[in-house]
Amino acid sequence: MLSSYRQIFAAPGTLAFSAAGFLARLPISMTGIGIVTMLSQQRGSFGVAGLVSATLAIAAAVLGPAVSWLIDRHGQRRVALPAAALCISAATGLLLCAHFDAPDWTLFVFAVGMGVMPSAGAMVRARWAHLYRDKPARLHTAYSFEAVVDEFCFMVGPILAVSLATNVFPESGVLAAGLALTVGIVLFTAQRRTEPPVHPAAARSGRSAILNPGLVVLVLTFIATGAIFGSVEIVTVAFARAQDHEGLAGTVLAVWALGSGLAGMVYGALKPTSPLANRFVVGVVMMALTMIPVLLVAEAIQGLGGLLATGAVLLLAGLAISPTLISAMALVERLVPAAQLTEGMAWTTTGLALGVALGSSAGGWVVDASGAAAGYWVPLVAGVFGVLVALGGLRTLRAGLPAAEPEAPAVEPVDLGR
């Protein structure tokens, strides 16, 4: 298994840009839950906290693809650095308003400004695609590795954000996310030799990648996936607080991400031969089904035992996440032209962001109205919606794949001398 991962780092600079990309995308897992934890402590309402977090997610959904559209046309360094600077400025404003108890509307204004955060995950994957577009087995492994990195971010990020906000001062989680974004983007954009070239077709074309029907199916499915993520995040924080163990919320969420990361590591070393679109749909179905035991356990068991049991079933639920996301990114790479790859991948992030917005808002409302355990109905309903969209769009996904290319990556010989 390790030999497959060693092969992808054979190209010079790959370890450097992937490591910097990890740091640059860490804020994605920290910012939302950091805002929720901060504002729920300061303002005493999960509803307000969830709405501000949802506003940030919606802003990222609207502004993120525009930033990635510019990256495809002008280059990663020229666009990502100023976009990150604008995001950090808005985050600073949000923290100041939260600390000095400014009116609620000011929080929403600065949350919108934070939506210009560049998509580090899309930029990293664009570099991998540039390097290994003609080596599908290595590209599959690279995408799998990045999915594991994403999950590691969601293991470390929530723990950092919640622990800092609850044990140091409420704003410290969001502050740490801002520092990680600053350092990560600076280091990532400094890696010039692996930066993908600007495609002339991208510079001339005004056509958006979202006009691709297959990408629309993926984005709609990712909205459901994001709703699962966003609702589980806020509901788990509320559930942990209801059991008088709020500090363990980040750990429970990290266990969920751990399950996904382990599945991603194994999946990346495999060379699946089943149709790519089919693998994606199966993953979406499994994500929905695994939300059922989460709801049942949370409603049946209370106290610390209930929180630990919820973490255990979330570990199992996480096993469906990475393989699904890996298949989705491989579909994006097949469906959209190389000149629009960053934008295409950013649209999936947009779908996730919209879903997180809907899920966190719905989760907050259900928690405030019916209690923390009832909030786990939200990810289950979101999962069912995702299944319906994926099954309905399966034919569209199959039709959009290039007929001349195999759906499954070819198996490359393993160099036993490595």
Q: Give tens-digit pLDDT for 23-70.
A: 998 888 788 878 888 888 887 777 788 788 878 878 887 888 889 888
Asked, for residue 406, whether it belongs to a domain, the answer is no
Interval 233-250 mean pLDDT: 83
Q: Is the pLDDT of residue 356 over 90?
A: no
pLDDT at 404: 46
Joined tokens for residue 253: 């969420």
DSSP state of 168: T
Number of domains in the chain: 1
pLDDT at 283: 93
pLDDT at 82: 95
Joined tokens for residue 280: 């994606």
**161-185 per-position pLDDT tens digit:** 878 888 888 888 899 999 999 999 9
Asked, for residue 408, whether it belongs to a domain, the answer is no
Q: Which residue has the higher pLDDT, 219 or 274?
A: 219
Residue 11 binned pLDDT confidence (cut-offs 50, 70, 90): confident
Residue 415 binned pLDDT confidence (cut-offs 50, 70, 90): very low
Q: What is the CATH number of the domain that holds 160?
A: 1.20.1250.20
Range of the domain at 195: 13-400
Give me the percent of the chain exceeding a pLDDT of 90: 28
pLDDT at 66: 86
Asked, for residue 410, whether it belongs to a domain, the answer is no
- For residue 53, give the H/E element and its range: helix 46-74
Round the average pLDDT of the chain to a whole number and report it: 84
pLDDT at 307: 84
Taking the model in full, what pTM does it have? Answer: 0.76
Q: Is the pLDDT of residue 247 over 80?
A: no
Q: Are 146 and 128 in contact (CB under 8 A)?
A: yes
Asked, for residue 372, whether it belongs to a domain, the answer is yes
pLDDT at 201: 57
Q: Cα–Cα distance between 216 and 213 in angstroms, integer? A: 5
CA distance to 46, 222, 225, 233, per residue, from 377 (Å): 17, 18, 14, 13
Asked, for residue 173, whether it belongs to a domain, the answer is yes
13: left (phi over 0), alpha (psi -120 to 50) or beta: left
Interval 327-346 mean pLDDT: 83
Interval 313-318 mean pLDDT: 91
Residue 416 binned pLDDT confidence (cut-offs 50, 70, 90): very low
Report the candidate in 339, 343, 392 with the shortest Cα–Cα distance to residue 63.
343
Q: Is the pLDDT of residue 414 over 70?
A: no
Asked, for residue 194, whether it belongs to a domain, the answer is yes
Dihedral of CA 170/173/176/177: which sign?
negative
Only one residue has tokens 């490595």, namely 418
Asked, for residue 170, whether it belongs to a domain, the answer is yes
**67-118 per-position pLDDT tens digit:** 988 888 888 899 999 999 999 999 999 999 988 888 888 999 999 999 999 9
Residue 352 binned pLDDT confidence (cut-offs 50, 70, 90): confident
Range with lowest mean pLDDT among 202-206, 242-246, 292-296, 388-392: 202-206
Report the candidate in 116, 107, 142 with the shortest Cα–Cα distance to residue 18.
142
Joined tokens for residue 74: 């002008």
Q: Is the pLDDT of residue 407 over 50?
A: no
The most confident of the ranges 178-187, 203-212, 317-326 is 178-187
Give me the percent of the chain exceeding a pLDDT of 70: 92
Asked, for residue 70, whether it belongs to a domain, the answer is yes
Q: Cα–Cα distance between 273 and 356 in angstroms, integer? A: 32
User: CA geometry: angle at 145 spanning 144 and 146, to 5°?
Assistant: 90
Cα separation of the two ends of the chain: 12
Q: Is the pLDDT of residue 238 over 60?
A: yes
Stated length of the chain: 418
